[in-house]
Structure 1
Amino acid sequence: MATEAPDQDQNQAAAPPELEIQSLAISSSPSSSSSSSNPTNQMSLEQRYQIVRSIGEECIQEDELRNLLEKKPEPICYDGFEPSGRMHIAQGVMKTINVNKLTSAGCRVKIWIADWCGQIMGRSDEEELTAAQIFYPCMQCADVFFLKADICQLGMDQRKVNVLAREYCDVIKRKNKPIILSHHMLPGLQQGQEKMSKSDPLSSIFMEDDEAEVNLKIKRAYCPPDIVEGNPCLEYVKYLILPWFKKFLIERSAENGGDKSFENFEELVAYYESGKLHPADLKPALAKALNKILEPVREHFKNDNNAKDLLKRVKVWSIDF
């Protein structure tokens, strides 16, 4: 099952400078599917390329991406979700940011709901290798060709299967190989967790978590003073808060330095490494920003009876990955 993300509204058509790519993350305006409202009419090729390229931690290949954007006004970009329980913010928030960037650059985004893949795959490490596990990467590769995707925009953890799709193009003599645009994997909240995992609820923030849960999880998160590398709290600011709000506000007393606002990650890094920003001030600001993003989701599950019932059923599932 596939669903397609609509284009952005023409009210946001002003071509952004390359240094303001992050500001394209979120649109609060109603979407339009009309090609005449496509903001790419006012964008240069270089601007479109920089926006799309900014999503990927890795791109295979950059020259192919530039050539694609030059020749195709609305390239098809594919991403997939396996319905495997509760959705955490790496899926719900970060994906929103990336999709809005892609549509702002003229891409048509097709999101593939991998329900069949979810049914055939077990979720226990104790299981032996089954035929389903062998078929899984083949099915995922087939998605790329079935959707006629020009770009595979998945996480770094899906890199191998995307490369497999490119290699298959050599076998079938297909010249237009799908471009791989692999985004950064948002880490878990605890030390050394390179990827947010649903199997550890305290290390993941879920889309329907209430305010108290978010506050507690961020409070317990790994956040060493003056250290940026491997600091999940700072990564959340970089990949979620700054793209969403275009700034990150620290609120603190005058005795502790007063309020401080950051509009880019480099400034925040320098300030944090200097010791001028303590984790005890960073964490509440991060929790407050995340709660602001998640509040509309909470209201949806609170006020919509169907959504409320669905959430109740999903929460009883056992997710072991």
Structure 2
Amino acid sequence: MDTAERAELVARHTEEVVTEEELHDLFEEQDEPTAYIGYAPTGEMHIGHFTTMRKLADFIEAGLDVTVLIADLHAHLDDEKSPFELLDARSTYYRLAIEGMVESAGADPDAITFTRGTDYQLEEPYTLELYRMLANTTISRAQRAGSEVVRQSDNPKLGGLVYTLMQSLDVAALEADIAYGGIDQRGIYMLAREVLPQHGFSKPRCVFAPLLSGLTRSDDEGEADKISSSDRSSGIFLTDDREAIEEKVQAAYCPAGEVEDNGVLEYLHRLVFPVLGVRGEDLVVERPEEYGGDLEYGSYDDLEADFVSGELHPADLKPAVAHYIDEVVEPVRERLLERPEVLAEAYPDHWG
């Protein structure tokens, strides 16, 4: 695989790469560059996390050395989204869930290095560098960088401000050439590109994944809601069974011929087709012969074209989407439900 092919593999199905030229140069300079993604173990993981997890399969195929950070301290610093006493249990759950998603997406979890924030964030030289960054960064700059990630308020807690600098410093501490995350992380990694060179570290390349919308819509704005761990109807969770997935997809906003704010199409575009692509499979929509018989799609663009034209109706599409999402989620669900004690310890209010 040459440089252009490796760079294309890393960049495909993403929202943005900063910058593509830097990414290309990286593969010219190094045989095995490093990449990392961090997850703060807060609420239960849902299908939206698959948009980032399935991308790791591309990273591994492109020859990247991949690290997944379970950012346990971050989970507590962000307005105590995870109580301190639950950090160990939730970190265990996140690793179990992430391993399941990576495997379901077609990659080997053993090819990934896992680490926790508490493995290195409490010791020098990390703490010393963090103090130096704190001394040089204004409150407004830290707030702006974390505005899409950290819970905001008129009277923010210091933890949320420190959070953004720690995430920037994690890139250097983990010696990552590529910082990878959802597009909501952009502000933090732009801060990293700005401040890390001032402290003697390299400027990271950044790869951003798109975010999945929820399946519900706001009554007042009419726009798709974000998936929320506190609202299990807003999206598909990794422990949802086939019946729950079918119910959520059937109830989802999916007007005939409309693409905008259509969560069903978004799930297909961002998750189902990329996973099927790795497997070398097409998507089949089953229809009665009286309505034209089955439809088969090798790409999302072809399916969207039929949907917009009216050839493909939501009533036929939704059962197929539910089937393929369940197929992707099933091995992760089984992995988690085989460890009920992990779920109970991590989320005692729901599983205890």
Instruction: Tell me the residue number matched to 1:308.
Output: 340
Helix, strand or coil at the partner of 2:261: coil
TM-score by length of 2: 0.73
Q: Note the 1:60-75 alignment, pairs <5 A.
A: 60-75=18-33
Query: What is the distance in 1 between the residues matched to 2:19 and 2:335?
Result: 40
Q: Which moved more, 1:192-201 or 1:93-102?
A: 192-201
Instruction: Tell me the residue number matched to 2:186.
Output: 159
Helix, strand or coil at the partner of 1:297: helix
Distance 1:56 1:194, change over 3 A: farther
Q: Note the 1:1-321 alignment, pairs <5 A.
A: 43-91=1-49, 93-122=50-79, 123=81, 128-172=155-199, 174=201, 176-191=202-217, 192-193=223-224, 195-246=226-277, 247-302=282-337, 304=338, 307-317=339-349
Instruction: Tell me the residue number matched to 2:142.
Output: none
Query: What is the distance in 1 between the residues matched to 2:47 and 2:306?
Result: 26
More helix by share: 2
After TM superposition, the runs of 4+ consecutive aligned structure 1 residues lying more than 6 A away are 124-127
CA contact (8 A) 1:85 1:314 kept: no
Ranges in structure 1 where 5+ consecutive residues have no aligned partner: 1-42
Letter of the 2:25 counterpart: N
Query: What is the distance in 1 between the residues matched to 2:164 and 2:55?
Result: 24
Letter of the 1:103 counterpart: I
Residue 118 of structure 1 and its aligned partner are, at CA, apart by: 1.0
CA contact (8 A) 2:225 2:234 kept: no
CA contact (8 A) 2:169 2:196 kept: no
Residue 186 of structure 1 and its aligned partner are, at CA, apart by: 1.0
Query: What is the distance in 2 between the residues matched to 1:97 and 1:287?
Result: 18
CA contact (8 A) 2:164 2:188 kept: yes
Query: What is the distance in 2 between the residues matched to 1:147 and 1:193?
Result: 36
CA contact (8 A) 2:52 2:209 kept: no
Distance 1:119 1:317, change over 3 A: farther
Letter of the 2:71 counterpart: A
Distance 1:125 1:67, change over 3 A: closer
Ranges in structure 2 where 5+ consecutive residues have no aligned partner: 82-150, 218-222
CA contact (8 A) 2:215 2:225 kept: no
Query: What is the distance in 1 between the residues matched to 2:68 and 2:253?
Result: 33
RMSD between aligned residues: 1.9
Letter of the 2:247 counterpart: L
Letter of the 2:28 counterpart: E
Q: Which moved more, 1:195-204 or 1:183-192?
A: 195-204
Helix, strand or coil at the partner of 1:153: strand
Letter of the 1:177 counterpart: K
Residue 147 of structure 1 and its aligned partner are, at CA, apart by: 0.3
Residue 212 of structure 1 and its aligned partner are, at CA, apart by: 1.1
Query: What is the distance in 2 between the residues matched to 1:132 and 1:295?
Result: 37
The Cα offsets for residues 171-225 of structure 1, whole Å up to 9 and x where unpaired, read as: 2354x31011111111111232363221221111111111111111111111111
Letter of the 1:266 counterpart: D
TM-score by length of 1: 0.80
Distance 1:315 1:278, change over 3 A: farther
Letter of the 2:42 counterpart: S
Query: What is the distance in 2 between the residues matched to 1:84 and 1:45?
Result: 37
CA contact (8 A) 1:85 1:317 kept: no
Distance 1:170 1:146, change over 3 A: closer
Residue 85 of structure 1 and its aligned partner are, at CA, apart by: 2.4
Distance 1:195 1:69, change over 3 A: farther
Query: What is the distance in 1 between the residues matched to 2:344 and 2:24?
Result: 45
Letter of the 2:68 counterpart: I
Letter of the 1:193 counterpart: A
Helix, strand or coil at the partner of 1:133: helix
CA contact (8 A) 1:186 1:194 kept: no
Letter of the 2:301 counterpart: E
Residue 95 of structure 1 and its aligned partner are, at CA, apart by: 3.0
